[in-house]
Chains A and B, each alone.
Chain A
């Protein structure tokens, strides 16, 4: 069974701090997505990474896919209250199993 473990589960920081959250698995994925979910809403896609070692930047957010395509990290620079939310990673595989495998998420609170 493929699993994605996210850490930390909860994170509360002050505005302006930097942070990194992790998404780890013992399985290889052909793609990995990061979503952010705000209270009362559905998850919204932030990024998809598909190549081992790939780094993608989205303003203050930096996403990295591990070389072996088993893990990923999300680094936020100078966090802002608007970054508050649940960050979910989801791994995908080509082939017969087309279901995304989801982590439980990291709940981030950025305090002003």
Chain B
């Protein structure tokens, strides 16, 4: 158990819809990262928050947005969903802000867009 909690574990929805994925980081971790994992693209970094502020952006689409709340949990919002958005979405947390520190991953949220 990494200490990172993600909900929901599985989600099936239709194209055009909007979903929200939730992440609770490990106790004490200030950094939250969101990743998308698909078979053909591997693990793609989407966005990082540190103590409530956006710190780094990766390959995140404009249809996607995220935020980190004062209690440090984070949400990833995916809107106008397309078939290609079907993937595993991981949240990870770390104590440190910089790269090189250990990332603790949740079990992921599997999104299926039909």
Q: Could you tell me if B99 and A99 are in contact, using CB atoms closer than 8 angstroms?
A: yes
Given contacts A48-B100, A99-B99, contact A42 B108 (CB under 8 A): yes
**Set of chain A residues within 8 Å of B114, measured between Cβ atoms:** none
Shortest distance between the CB of A24 and any CB in chain B (Å): 15
Interface centre among B92, B100, B104, B107, by most A CB within 10 Å?
B100
Q: Could you tell me if A42 and B2 are in contact, using CB atoms closer than 8 angstroms?
A: yes
Count chain A residues whose beta carbon lies closer than 8 angstroms to a beta carbon of B. 24
B25 within 8 A of A: no
Q: Could you tell me if B45 and A92 are in contact, using CB atoms closer than 8 angstroms?
A: no
Q: Please, how many angstroms separate the alpha-carbon atoms of A50 and B90 in the complex?
A: 25
Q: Interface residues of A: mostly helix, strand, loop or mixed?
A: loop
CB nearest neighbor in A for B50: A98
Q: Could you tell me if A48 and B56 are in contact, using CB atoms closer than 8 angstroms?
A: no
Q: Could you tell me if B99 and A100 are in contact, using CB atoms closer than 8 angstroms?
A: yes
B53 within 8 A of A: no
CB nearest neighbor in A for B105: A42
Q: Could you tell me if A99 and B105 are in contact, using CB atoms closer than 8 angstroms?
A: no
A7 within 8 A of B: no
A19 within 8 A of B: no
A93 within 8 A of B: yes
B8 within 8 A of A: no
Q: Could you tell me if A48 and B102 are in contact, using CB atoms closer than 8 angstroms?
A: yes
**In the complex, chain B residues 36-78 whose Cβ is within 8 Å of any chain A Cβ:** 41-45, 48, 55-56, 58
Instruction: Please report A residues at the B interface, Cβ cutoff 8 Å.
Output: 30-31, 33, 35, 40-45, 48, 50, 88, 92-94, 97-100, 102-105
Instruction: Please report B residues at the A interface, Cβ cutoff 8 Å.
Output: 2, 4, 41-45, 48, 55-56, 58, 90, 92, 97-100, 102-108
